[in-house]
Amino acid sequence: MALADKENSPMPPRNNRYDVTEWPHGDAAQDIGAVINDILRDVKERQQGADVEDGGRPGAVIQIPPGDYRLRTQVVIDLSFVRIEGAGHGFTSSSIRFNVPESEWAGLHELWPGGSRVMVDLVNMQSDDEASGAAFLVARTGSPRISSVEFSGFCIDGLHFTAPGPDDNVENSYVNGKTGIFVRDANDSFRVNGMGFVYLENALTIYNADALSIHDNFIAECGSCVELRGWGQASKITDNLIGAGFAGHSIYAENHGGLLITANNVFPRGSSSVSLHAVTRSSVTNNRLHSFYPGMVVLAAGSSENLVASNHFLRDHEPWTPFLGVEGRYDDAFGLVNVDGAGNSIIGNHFSEVVAASRVRPDGAAPVIVRLAAGRGNRVSDNHVVASDVDPGSQDSAFEAQVEALLSTAEARPLAVVAVRVDAASTGNTILDSGTEDEVDADLTVNAVRFTPAVRTSHSTVPGQKMVRT
């Protein structure tokens, strides 16, 4: 932008604060992507020196006031210290809305998410290039790694799902090829805070993260929510509300060390709640996890020396009509927790397994809670399993169905479970106080086991009464 141009600008960039609605080039309502790219071009043009008086490239904040902004052009971020900041995470349930009969739409207060809302409507998506479907692409190679890019307080909405889906409704498919934020290259000290993500096939896909913070976001009704790919270290995923689609991941990480996943409320219907692939020395602690399928926490591919502690696990059945009949990836023998790795600690968790005995798979088997499938030297101690056989109801209203299912504990029957199963491929484990003698299935010659003391009496098995296994 020429100087003359700047003088006519309604927002003279005398500091590094930009507002997409005041930028003189482009129309943020029609294509916020083009506007942000032009602002980033301006920042780079103005911040050319990398070492001017001990500084030179402080970056910028780009503000998005509440409003509906279509994004037709992908934003490409290739400079550090950029904060993109809205004033409203804007979530509303598109899933509920798209399962309301069209005849009732006129009576709805609103049909779309809101807040500072970026509507992903890319014109150049290519099915063979995942990154091309991202609203925001972060891409920069060389040194140093791109640092301190921040996304804060706005909404990224994929608008529609488009593939065949449950209940013959494409909007239930969680598939549209769109990603909210895609970070392609190694990065440091990024922040994603207070954001809303909805109706994206992938909300956040981040490669090669160091000291990343994903904190206090609302990430729901997306195919997958958080995927940390490549490798990474010393990051945190904390205090988020998260819930993926039936085929995707709520939280996934691979080849990460020192990852802290805590204080998240992860609700259904992700195929897993937390799935770790070759992740080491990381924590999954103090989360509330709720799933409609087995395989809630998966420590796969040699994931080792991780701590899974103080979590609340609830596994029950899908209660909402449109998704009835959708099944998870694994059967009930897989375990709510499945471990292929060494030296992990599974300590002090609560498990509620609330299922219809008739729907347990394989037929006639007892559901497994913790399964040590391969590896060695894991510790499973002081876990409490409460298992009930229920007659699951269903409802046309998503939230009434869920609340009702959550709150009903009165009419359950006892359900036998395998609290801990240790496969032959996993040895040298220590299992303490995590199941009574008839609830632990392990080779006692190659594992150390102390059974939970059983309650002596049979009071608890009076038919028709609620019973909780101890």
SS3 400: helix
The helix (H) or strand (E) run that includes residue 353 is strand 350-355
Least CB distance from residue 416 to a copy of itself, whole Å? 14
Q: Answer yes or no whether residue 392 interacts with a copy of itself by CB under 8 A.
A: no
Beta carbon nearer to a copy of itself, 118 or 181: 118
Q: Is 147 or 169 the residue whose CB approaches a copy of itself more closely?
A: 147
Task: Say how far apart CA 188 and CA 396 lie, in whole Å.
Answer: 45
Closer residue to a copy of itself, CB minimum distance, 51 or 363:
51
d(CA 349, CA 286): 9
Query: What's the first-to-final CA gap in the chain, in angstroms?
Result: 71
Closer Cβ to a copy of itself, 129 or 144, answer by number: 144
Please name the residue that has the structure tokens 């205090």.
239
x/- binding map, residues 356-385, to a copy of itself, per CB under 8 A?
--------------------xxxx-xx-x-
Q: Smaller CB distance to a copy of itself: residue 114 or 392?
A: 114
Q: Is 364 exposed, middle or buried (0-12, 13-18, 19+ CB in 10 A)?
A: exposed
Strand partners, 137: 76, 182
In this chain, which stretch among 171-179, 302-310, 326-334, 417-425 interacts with a copy of itself, using CB under 8 A?
A: 302-310
Rounded Cα distance between 191 and 239, Å, is: 13
User: To the nearest whole angstrom, how small is the minimum distance from the Cβ of residue 310 to a copy of itself?
Assistant: 5
Apex 354 CA angle, 333 and 288, nearest 5: 95
- Measuring CA to CA, which residue among 292, 210, 224, 194 is closest to residue 255? 210
Binder of a copy of itself out of 1, 11, 57, 441 (CB under 8 A): 57
Binding mask 420-439 for a copy of itself (x = CB under 8 A): -------xxxx-xx------
What is the rounded distance in angstroms from the CA atom of residue 145 to the CA atom of residue 231?
14
Residue of 23, 218, 292, 293 interacting with a copy of itself (CB under 8 A)? 218
Are 190 and 214 in contact, with CB atoms under 8 Å apart? no
CB of 128 to a copy of itself, least distance (A): 27
Only one residue has tokens 């102390």, namely: 450
Which ranges of 349-454 does DSSP label H, i.e. alpha helix?
398-407
Q: How far is the CB of 223 from a copy of itself (least distance, A)?
A: 19
**Alpha-carbon distance 341 to 448, whole Å?**
17
Among 342, 370, 415, 419, binds a copy of itself (CB under 8 A): 342
Nearer to a copy of itself, 109 or 362 (CB): 109
Which region among 167-175, 177-185, 229-237, 322-330 touches a copy of itself (by CB under 8 A)? 229-237
Among 134, 183, 417, 467, binds a copy of itself (CB under 8 A): 467
Query: Which of the residues 58 through 87 are near a copy of itself (CB under 8 A)?
Result: 58-61, 65-68, 70, 79-83, 85, 87
9 sits near a copy of itself (criterion: CB under 8 A):
no
> Whole-number minimum distance, CB 358 to a copy of itself, in Å?
22
Q: What's phi and psi for 53, nearest 5 deg? A: 50, 50
Q: Which of 204, 180, 183 is nearest to 122 (CA)?
A: 180
Q: Residues 45, 51, 102, 363: which binds a copy of itself (CB under 8 A)? A: 51
Residue linked to tokens 């990154």? 131
Residue with Cβ nearer a copy of itself (186 or 203): 186
| Total residues in contact with a copy of itself, by rule CB under 8 A | 164
Please identify, using beta-carbon distances, which residue of 312 and 329 lies nearer to a copy of itself: 312
Contact flag: residue 112 with a copy of itself (CB under 8 A): yes
- Taking CB under 8 A as the binding criterion, the range among 131-139, 245-253, 359-367, 444-452 that sits at the site for a copy of itself is 444-452
**CB of 65 or CB of 169, closer to a copy of itself:** 65
The answer to whether 469 contacts a copy of itself (rule: CB under 8 A) is yes
Residues 236-295 that bind a copy of itself (CB under 8 A): 236, 238-239, 241, 255, 257-260, 262-263, 265, 267, 278, 280-283, 285-288, 290
Q: Does 8 bind a copy of itself (CB under 8 A)?
A: no
Are the C-beta atoms of 193 and 140 separated by less than 8 Å? no
Binding of residue 111 to a copy of itself (CB under 8 A): yes
Tokens of 298: 């998966």
Give bridge partners of residue 249 from the DSSP assignment.
Answer: 272
Return d(Cα 419, Cα 352) in angstroms, integer: 11
Is residue 123 a contact residue for a copy of itself (CB under 8 A)? no
153-212 residues near a copy of itself, rule: CB under 8 A: 159, 186, 188-189, 191, 193-194, 196, 210-211
Q: Is the dihedral of CA 463, 466, 469, 470 positive or negative?
A: negative
Part in contact with a copy of itself (CB under 8 A); list of ranges 99-107, 128-136, 162-170, 328-336: 99-107
Nearest to 392 by CA among 380, 384, 401: 401
Ranges of beta strands (E only) in 356-464 are: 368-376, 379-381, 384-389, 413-414, 418-422, 426-427, 430-432, 440-441, 448-450
